[in-house]
Structure 1
């Protein structure tokens, strides 16, 4: 069971353990609505990525985030950016919990905190996710701006993992990024566009930090495919707007299904919900026996995170499996 508690995925492991082939993977926070352009964008696999192509990607991403491209550095996934930030800032860390396990791994020293206010008057880097994982909590931007001001006065930094901010754009602090602020954001491509395998992300921060990150990433930080898909997808504003609305509708549908079985859904991120039950591992097991993979948690055996079903058939199967207990 320990493998399933580390992060989402591991579908092949679940199939080997429980049998069956027609599985529904609800263990991740990856959107089930896949950007359709992936089927039509052509990639030249024979040539190295061109600098102009990388610049075009960063311009498209920056326009979507609402920042100047000079504040954006392309990464092979946002987790790489988090690990870079830990080295670049070279400060003791404080990371808001519960959240990603990897948040505690990026600093040479530090400690978790339950309230960001505990870290505001020290020269530290405070790291949090907004929207958060696994509980979908959103910290309002005015409060984050207050925390940023307090950290800046103490010589610290605020680092916000905005991997899910595309689906709740109003929570982003991108508008605060400039050379005078001690603020770094990490953005993910794959979660919102349903293309986690592309491994594409971005560091957004002051130009001095971006320049250091670019030197560490080197000439070719991502593949030609990541550049091609990312550039085209970020330019597809109409699809993004439609996807946000559709994800909200499906999240409301998921809330209704869970409520119908006496489960109270927690979270404001449309891509997943967290439920608390008497035995999260037992519910995980029951759903797995119905070939539905979800995400249990070693640190809290009462929790189970359930991702967003991709279609009507998946909703119906989840509904039936929850009712057969």
Structure 2
């Protein structure tokens, strides 16, 4: 990333993007559906990390510098970051998505698609020229290349060697590689963090595997010259005291993550079998969600909604549906019944 202070100004009106988790809207559309709704529209662990007791002081005062450092140390250890100075915390990776386009002069940006649509939107809103490409080689000619790995919603997982080679190509042209590793917690060998290539920014999400999206916590990992610019954009005390306390405890809990990984693996196998028995073709996914491709996708989504079950639809890919994992046996049984199995 350039060291000069020439930046982009983001002034365009945001586009409307459909996201998962919109229970208010789906409830309005299906007022007679059974309650409570089962939300399978997000790729979030349905069995969250047990929130520890939060000291009253975390609510009553601004976070201390030592507490912020403890969070970064826990995140660095969890993700394999070489030094805490290479990582910065943000109130969710979405905040980082919106900041990064401001830190680079107008550029050509290539996003490996289809993928999480906010990446392209945030760069386009700041006046950058954005192209959606479906081939890794096409990323190498851009100033900025953006990849979600593993991908959301397809689960595509690019080999580490491919990303390292791309980073080297971009660096020779003063380019930048951004890799969103929101779903990499259970694919540790796929992460770029432990041996981070130059001219690369890795984004990590806390809320997905820990099931605590409401905490709003994410991280950017890069070389120190890049990372030190991000706190200037985030401002002081960007992370709340309760979020710091929760994140520090959860990121240090090796046993919980190992147990969660085993449970999610078993649940994915169960979901694959359930979807297969209902005639649904599973074409991708991660340990937190599955993607099906079927001409009957609109009918399936409609049937599930009338049973109080919300799944993720994709207007640009009407044959796709993304299923998150049910969180308890009652939800599993309701899903099976709604699918007709």
TM-score computed with the length of structure 1 as normaliser: 0.94
Matches within 5 A, 1:158-307: 158-177=177-196, 181-307=198-324
Do structure 1's residue 157 and structure 2's residue 173 form an aligned pair? no
Match of 1:60 in 2: 74
Matched-pair contact (CA < 8 Å) for 1:138–1:268: no
Conservation of the 8 A alpha-carbon contact between 1:96 and 1:128: yes
Q: Which runs of 5+ in 1 are unaligned?
A: none
Q: Distance in 1 between matches of 2:196 and 2:90?
A: 18
Please state how far the C-alpha of 1:311 moved relative to its aligned partner: 1.8
**1:268/1:26 Cα in 2 relative to 1: closer, same or farther (>3 Å)?**
closer
- Asked whether the 8 Å contact 1:94–1:112 carries over to 2, the reply is yes
Q: What corresponds to 1:48 in structure 2? A: 62
The corresponding residue for 2:87 is 72
Cα RMSD of the aligned pairs, angstroms, is: 1.7
Instruction: Output the CA distance in 1 between the equivalents of 2:86 and 2:283.
Output: 34
CA shift, 1:5, in A, is: 7.2
- Number of aligned positions between the proteins: 318
Higher helix content, 1 or 2? 1
For the residues of structure 2 that align with 1:268 and 1:66, how far apart are their CA atoms? 24
1:304 partner SS:
strand
SS at match of 1:299: coil
Structure 2: stretches of 5+ with no match in the other structure: 1-15
Per mean C-alpha deviation after superposition, the further-off stretch among 247-256 and 43-52 is: 43-52
- The alignment status of 1:18 with 2:30, answered yes or no, reads yes
Q: TM-score, normalised by structure 2?
A: 0.89
Report the Cα offset of residue 309 of structure 1.
1.0
SS in structure 2 at match of 1:193: coil
Aligned with 2:152: secondary structure? coil
C-alpha distance in 2, partners of 1:119/1:13?
A: 36
Greater Cα offset, 263-272 or 217-226: 263-272
The answer on whether the counterparts of 1:95 and 1:127 sit within 8 Å (CA) in structure 2 is: yes
Judge conservation of contact 1:287–1:322 (CA < 8 Å) in 2. yes
Compute the displacement of 1:13 (Å). Answer: 1.9
Deviations 1:21-52 (A, max 9, x none): 2211000001112101x143334211011111
- CA 1:8–1:43: 2 relative to 1, 3 Å: farther
Partner of 1:35: 49
Deviations along 1:50-93, one digit per CA (max 9) or x if unpaired, are: 11111100000010010121100110101111222222233321
Q: CA deviation at 1:281?
A: 2.1
Which one of 9, 16, 19 corresponds to residue 7 of structure 1? 19
- Are the counterparts in 1 of residues 52 and 249 from structure 2 also a CA contact under 8 Å? no
User: Of residues 126, 129, 134 in structure 2, which corresponds to 1:109?
Assistant: 129
> Structure 1 stretches (4+) deviating beyond 3 angstroms?
none
Q: Partners of 2:56 and 2:228 in 1: how far apart?
A: 28
- The whole-number CA distance in structure 2 between the counterparts of 1:152 and 1:70 is 21
Give the secondary-structure state (helix, strand or coil) at the position aligned to 1:82. Answer: helix
